[in-house]
A and B are shown apart, each in its own frame.
Chain A
């Protein structure tokens, strides 16, 4: 059971806006920055969002992150078929070190 809670799956049709939630606590998300990663099958994860809502160079602005209290969200607007992947949130925790969400498998219908 992961310290950060994500829905196991999410879906949307092309062009839609999809959000993936990440719920934590006062010792992790409530205190530290949140990171989001995208992973395609058989490949290493890639940083998608850092410091809650910042996009690394090369990440489309269709991807956005937000945080409020002990929860965070990843939003993908203008959904495309190539966005179909697994998405993970992560944060530091006072007692546990770095913690990840269980991951959300995004399906583009």
Chain B
């Protein structure tokens, strides 16, 4: 059974940092393209970032470029999202997803972790 378990969310002040983790199981993580997708309270889905197999190629939404960094540790079956210079607009549930096509098709989603940016 495929499982994606996010952690690391919480309350952070504007300008602060947070690191999200997503532990994967039930599939070959090292062979999978992975992404983060977020959803602000009461709003729609927003793609955040994608990392290709091997970790050498990454993509970011313009809204997070330069502030959020996606990475992976295939030895630990873990996906990360380092979040720096956070603003109130970054408040959202962050979902870890598997994207087998590498082009926006997420076949498995984690349960999400809530990040709240507030003073």
| Bound CA span A45–B103, Å | 17
Closest residue of A by beta carbon distance from B46: A100
Closest residue of B by beta carbon distance from A2: B44
Cβ of B85 < 8 Å from any Cβ of A? no
- Residues of A22-43 at the interface with B, using a CB-CB cut-off of 8 Å, are 32-33, 35, 37, 39
Inter-chain contact total with CB atoms closer than 8 Å:
69
Closest residue of B by beta carbon distance from A35: B105
The interface on chain B, measured as residues whose beta carbon lies within 8 A of the other chain's beta carbons, has a size of 24
Interface residue range, chain A: 20 to 34
Closest residue of B by beta carbon distance from A32: B103
B105 and A103 within 8 A (CB): no
A46-84, CB under 8 A of B: which get 1 and which 0? 110011000010000000000000000000000000000
A96 and B103 within 8 A (CB): no
Query: A44-B111, A97-B50, A97-B60 are contacts. A92–B44 as well, Cβ < 8 Å?
Result: no
A78-109, CB under 8 A of B: which get 1 and which 0? 00000000001011100011111111000000
Closest residue of A by beta carbon distance from B59: A97
| Bound CA span A9–B47, Å | 22
Closest residue of B by beta carbon distance from A100: B45
- B46 CB to closest chain A CB (Å) equals 7
B109 and A99 within 8 A (CB): no
Q: Which residues of A contact B111 (CB under 8 A)?
A: 44
B95-115, CB under 8 A of A: which get 1 and which 0? 100010101111111111000
**Residues of A in contact with B (beta carbons under 8 Å apart):** 2, 32-33, 35, 37, 39, 44-47, 50-51, 56, 88, 90-92, 96-103
